[in-house]
């Protein structure tokens, strides 16, 4: 019997600095209700979906940034979203900034099943940007200051009738992300992102942001025989223009749904999880064709080395 999972990618438009969490949660709930109307089983929200993208500013005292982080999930502010999702029978994936009881700071996603059960929490592995204040930039990208990289790696969980993994933003640019989950039989990868169109270190890449966004998710889907759902927080946020182009990608690498705006927008696709096997059991039959004995460099070294 074919395993069908109806997924909604719930793109958000910009969240300004003065927008409250309560206002944002109302927007999330509106998208959730749209998804329920379209009979979605699962809705995917963006990275850092509850606030503006605060790493674009630098503060000398980290405590001055504490208000951007969540110390519990659900929190009193997000509990209505959890309650509404359970009532509607729709699961969701939500990105947010996490501050743990031990004072650790992570860029986090949580996965919640249709009955309200928390399936898993994923913490971002590949942290982009810079660690120190760079005042000459038009805006900061200080994720490496505000977040520590997770050492937990890339898990895959049985949920929604399949095998589900998560990644966040910059993780999608690294092929190892997909392959580690692919080796666990992943069938759906959920990814939220905030991607400024202007790339300060090399502005020649600005015009290619949409191309690169699709390239990495389509290739990751195809080479691992998995669905990939990438969801943006888009539009002009505090003067910074960010990419939209949220998409749902099939195991064939084909884009089956994509947003047309940079506003709050829901796209929906019926995802046949059994489609994955058409690739996992043919071209990308890992057990038959992979050669891990010659891939040692991938885990034995971090940067490039040159042998003359």
Positions annotated as catalytic residues are 47, 124, 169
Q: Which of 166, 179, 161 is nearest to 108 (CA)?
A: 166
DSSP string, 242-305: E----EEE-TTS-EEEE--SSSSEEEEEEEEGGGGHHHHTTTT-HHHH--GGG-THHHH-SS--
Question: What is the strand order of the sheet 118-123 is part of?
Answer: 118-123, 105-112, 91-99, 42-44, 4-11, 265-272
Euclidean distance between CA atoms 70 and 82, whole angstroms: 15
Burial class (CB in 10 A: 0-12, 13-18, 19+), 57: middle
């Amino acid at each position: 019997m074919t395993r069908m999972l109806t997924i909604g990618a719930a793109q958000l438009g910009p969240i300004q600095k003065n927008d409250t969490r309560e206002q944002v949660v109302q927007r999330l709930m509106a998208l959730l209700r749209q998804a329920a109307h379209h009979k979605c089983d699962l809705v995917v929200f963006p990275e850092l979906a509850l606030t503006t993208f605060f790493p674009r500013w630098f503060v000398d005292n980290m405590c001055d940034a504490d208000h951007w982080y969540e110390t519990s999930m659900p929190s009193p502010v997000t509990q209505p979203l959890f309650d509404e999702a359970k009532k509607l029978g729709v699961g969701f994936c939500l990105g947010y900034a996490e501050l743990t009881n031990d004072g650790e700071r992570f860029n986090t996603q949580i996965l919640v099943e249709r009955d309200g059960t928390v399936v898993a929490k994923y913490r971002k592995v590949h942290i982009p940007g810079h660690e120190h204040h760079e005042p000459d930039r038009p805006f900061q990208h200080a994720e490496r200051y505000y977040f520590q990289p997770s050492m937990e790696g890339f898990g895959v969980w049985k949920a929604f009738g399949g095998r589900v993994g998560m990644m966040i933003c910059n993780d999608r640019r690294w092929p190892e992300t997909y392959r580690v989950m692919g080796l666990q039989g992943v069938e759906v990868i959920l990814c939220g992102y905030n991607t400024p169109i202007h790339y300060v270190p090399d502005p020649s890449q600005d015009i290619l942001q949409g191309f690169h966004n699709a390239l990495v998710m389509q290739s990751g889907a195809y080479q691992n025989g998995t669905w990939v759902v990438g969801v943006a927080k888009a539009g002009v946020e505090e003067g910074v223009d960010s990419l939209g182009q949220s998409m749902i990608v099939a195991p064939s690498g084909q884009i089956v749904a994509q947003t047309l705006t940079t506003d709050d927008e829901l796209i929906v696709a019926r995802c046949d999880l059994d489609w994955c096997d058409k690739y996992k059991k043919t071209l990308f039959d890992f057990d038959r064709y992979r050669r891990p004995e010659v891939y040692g460099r991938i885990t034995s070294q971090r940067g490039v080395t040159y042998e003359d």
